[in-house]
Structure 1
Amino acid sequence: MDPTEPIKLDIIVASVRAGRVAPVVADWFAGTARRRPGFDVGVLDLADTPLPQDLSGGPDVEAFTRRIGAADAFVIVTSEYNHGYPAALKTAVDSVKREWRTKPVGFVSYGGLSGGLRAVEQLRQVLVEVHMVPVRESVSFHRVKHAFAADGSTSDGAAIDAAERMLDQLAWWARTVRAGRGIEPYPG
């Protein structure tokens, strides 16, 4: 793979609940990432991705797996439900095998007072198990319903700064993994 080729970044929208705020958060982050020329940004909304909970496979899972395999990096936009992340996200993670391996992943979380951070802590453990590389920086929105203006923008300086730093880390890891794959295959 050409090292100068843009990094294919897929933003995974984890919440599938009716009335969710996830699209607002994901659109804001996607806009932030798209302003950076080194990224080719896509949005993969799990509400529009029919994955069977019994992990039985099928054409939808095959298409999802191909998309995961084609990406260089991910950002997961997640809410926090009962101190954890959405079930649809766990199904998505478990539906794919090798295609997750070595891919860097960042997190944009949201919720009430915790800002979704407890969900992110659980996700870090799960994603390391499928050989992903969680970056250190993350973005969180506490009291998310107050964090965005009607036009989908935010004035949360900490979130804006964290998003930029997280994108820097994702780019570094994606380029480094891309170069490493050219030297030798991942041993996992």
Structure 2
Amino acid sequence: MPTLTVIIASTRPGRAGTPVARWVVDRAEAHGGFDVRVADLAEINLPLLDEPNHPRLRRYEHEHTRAWSALVDASDAFVIVTPEYNHGYPAPLKNALDYLHAEWAHKAVGLVSYGAVAGGVRSVQALKPVLQYLKMIPAGEGVIIPFVARHIVDGALQPTPALEQSATAMLDELRRLEATLRPLR
């Protein structure tokens, strides 16, 4: 079974990303098409890029980079759970992406964004060119959660039927994309 890694992009205390990611993980496990893992960038805690060699060379000097490389390399597809900060995505996500190169290539990625009125869509639009440069294939289906705070009750995301449908569509597409891209890896 392919491995799907859910990346929690926000590292802020009190972040909405944790309950959103828990919901995504639950949906992905119920979907049944993946072995699901979580990569919480707050726990991984990568320093600002500190490798002297270009990531394309894969000559990593630091254990944190080797561990991050192994996690990403072992993943077949991803879901990135990201907020929108000032019309963009969080710096820890950019840093985590920049640490590696070949490990990302030819892997499908679903995007779950959250925020206020726009639901994080500007974050997704800023992120897509970076993902495409890394040879990742963003799913056309995604999940957008506007006014995310209204959906979090007692620390858990309370999804609407539309959010549930969006998640199912994204996971279905990720499964198809992953299978299509597998021979390229």
**TM-score in terms of structure 2 length:** 0.91
Q: Which residue of 2 aligns with 1:150?
A: 154
Q: Which residue of 2 aligns with 1:21?
A: 16
C-alpha distance in 2, partners of 1:121/1:14? 15
Q: Which residue of 1 aligns with 2:111?
A: 107
Tell me which amino acid in the other structure corresponds to 1:98: A
CA RMSD across the alignment: 1.3
Q: Mark the runs of 5 or more structure 2 residues left unpaired by the alignment.
A: 52-60
**Residue deviations 1:50-99 (CA, integer Å, cap 9, x gap):** 21213325101110011100000000000000000000000000001100
Q: Which residue of 2 aligns with 1:72?
A: 76
Question: Shift of residue 150 of structure 1?
Answer: 2.5
Alignment of 1:26-41 (within 5 A): 26-41=21-36
C-alpha distance in 2, partners of 1:150/1:90? 30
Question: Shift of residue 153 of structure 1?
Answer: 4.1
Alignment of 1:79-158 (within 5 A): 79-150=83-154, 152-158=156-162
Q: Which residue of 1 aligns with 2:55?
A: none
**TM-score in terms of structure 1 length:** 0.90
Q: Which residue of 2 aligns with 1:61?
A: 65
Pick from 18, 27, 45: which aligns with 1:50?
Answer: 45
Q: Give the length in aligned residue pairs.
A: 176
Question: Shift of residue 151 of structure 1?
Answer: 6.0
Question: Shift of residue 177 of structure 1?
Answer: 1.4
**Residue deviations 1:140-166 (CA, integer Å, cap 9, x gap):** 110100013326242412211010000
| Contact 1:12 1:74 (8 Å CA) reproduced | yes
**Residue deviations 1:13-67 (CA, integer Å, cap 9, x gap):** 0000111111000001100000122210001000011212133251011100111
The alignment partner of 1:105 has SS state of strand
Identical aligned pairs, as a percentage?
40
Tell me which amino acid in the other structure corresponds to 1:17: R
Tell me which amino acid in the other structure corresponds to 1:161: Q
Question: Shift of residue 116 of structure 1?
Answer: 0.5
Q: Mark the runs of 5 or more structure 1 residues left unpaired by the alignment.
A: 1-5
Q: Which residue of 2 aligns with 1:162?
A: 166
The alignment partner of 1:35 has SS state of helix
